[in-house]
Amino acid sequence: MKPSLAKGTRDFTAEEVSRRKYIINILQKNFELFGFQPLETPSFENLSTLTGKYGEEGDRLIFKILNSGDYTSKVNQEDWENKSHQKLTSQISDKALRYDLTVPFARFVAMNHGKLTFPYKRYQIQPVWRADRPQKGRFREFYQCDADVVGSESLFQEVDLVQLYLKSFADLKVPVTIHLNNRKILSGLAEYAGITDKLIDFTVALDKLDKIGKEGVVKELLEREISQESIDKLDFLFTQSDDALENLLQLKEKFVGNEVGTKGVEELEFVLTKSISLGVDIQNLVFDITLARGLDYYTGAIFEVKADEVQMGSIGGGGRYDNLTEVFGVKNIPGIGISFGLDRIYLVVEELGLFPEEATSKVEYLFANFGGEETLEALKLIMQLREKGISAELYPENAKIGKQFTYAEKKGIKNLVFLGEEELKNGNVTFKNLEAGEQKTVSLEEFLG
């Protein structure tokens, strides 16, 4: 059988794993710096936990898991013959791989709310799975790095998450822009245009603006049975200025008497003005009135982060989801969270050449194997280096020195160490720096530092 990978998945080499760890370590350090605590949840959940939380399109991308054993034995024959997919799914699958980290987190909070101290701040770095069409920067298995706060309605949480985003990407040396919107503004726009009953259709289409353009969005709105008259009222959405506060002022005028829209404008204005007061450059914040993110569970602020110097989709996103735990029978636990897209961040850092040399794990010393007593003495010295936290290994066979050189070069090992009969007699160590091509002999004491 010819070996192959499942579409949308990848193997990671030693260099890639080390570089991913570099990004994760920076994110984890900042999560903890901002007061978040770690949490891990299972890779799969009950199917009922996940469905109905991501909108119509999201539900289609959930990876279902077939029930174990003879999963077809309980299938209703009529449903099988009629190819009633929804009914069939419920009979052959009751579990699914997690689609994101937010819904499992909400399930955890609902199950443990009596034991948690609120506001509860958690971060989570784990893989998720989506049955999406693979393309550049989009995979079927990928990591999310989330930070969420539940149990607080304070808008200072939004301000704090803006700070978390900017500090993390500054540490990675990646210039970014944070795009912001508010779900209440979108609800206000739907009310303003007289399409409140079409809110989800409206936001799903609007969220595709950067992919399909104005004409594509208008076409989709018409297909979703939104009238031309309503679309004309919303035409100003496609001609926003670069001044976020000026755009908010324009909305205030349109939302006179529109309670939900006005509330959204006030909330977003608070986040923008307070962030600016804390020293955030307004150039790093964009009020993107077309930003919807297409998820049903957002109720307030919506975030999306884009790299300034690389053509890539969003490398982070999130928002407020005040009603999420309610579907699990627990009310009045407001929440807000953001996510960092590890895989896309990796591609951006790589394209910009920003990975430092130390982000790649390399062996510092390879000891040549001369056989006999020298081998045992080399192993003793290797043990002393490892106790000092210095990586070292012995070439396993007493092979020709050329072969040992080739191994060291191919593996990217920095130094090849010779501990032969002459060195043992004189208490010395000879080593060659393979990067500089320099060879020197030093005393054992000097070598161990």
297 marked as binding residue: yes
9 marked as binding residue: no
Q: Provide the b/e sequence for 51-60 (b: ≥16 CB within 10 Å).
A: bebbbeebee
- Tokens (6 digits) for 440: 């020197």
Radius of gyration of the chain (CA): 28
143 marked as binding residue: no
Coarse DSSP helix, strand, coil percentages of the chain, rounded to the nearest 5 percent: 45, 20, 35
- Tokens (6 digits) for 192: 């303003």
54 marked as binding residue: no
Q: Collapse the DSSP code of 136 into the 3-class scheme (helix H, G, I; strand E, B; otherwise coil) and give the result.
A: coil
| Cis bond before residue 175 (omega within 30° of 0) | no
Quote the CA–CA distance of 25 and 178 in Å, as a whole number.
22
Quote the CA–CA distance of 349 and 85 in Å, as a whole number.
42
Quote the CA–CA distance of 156 and 245 in Å, as a whole number.
18
Quote the CA–CA distance of 317 and 273 in Å, as a whole number.
20
The angle at the Cα of 348, spanning 343 to 351, to the nearest 5 degrees, equals: 125
- Tokens (6 digits) for 235: 């035409």
122 marked as binding residue: no
Q: Specify the residue for token string 């978040």.
A: 36
140 marked as binding residue: no
Quote the CA–CA distance of 61 and 8 in Å, as a whole number.
13
- Tokens (6 digits) for 240: 């926003």
Quote the CA–CA distance of 79 and 82 in Å, as a whole number.
5
Quote the CA–CA distance of 322 and 317 in Å, as a whole number.
17
130 marked as binding residue: yes
DSSP state string for 183-201: HHHHHHHHHHTT-GGGHHH
Residue ranges of the annotated binding site are 100-102, 130, 144, 148, 293, 297-298
Residue numbers in the known binding site for L-histidine are 100-102, 130, 144, 148, 293, 297-298
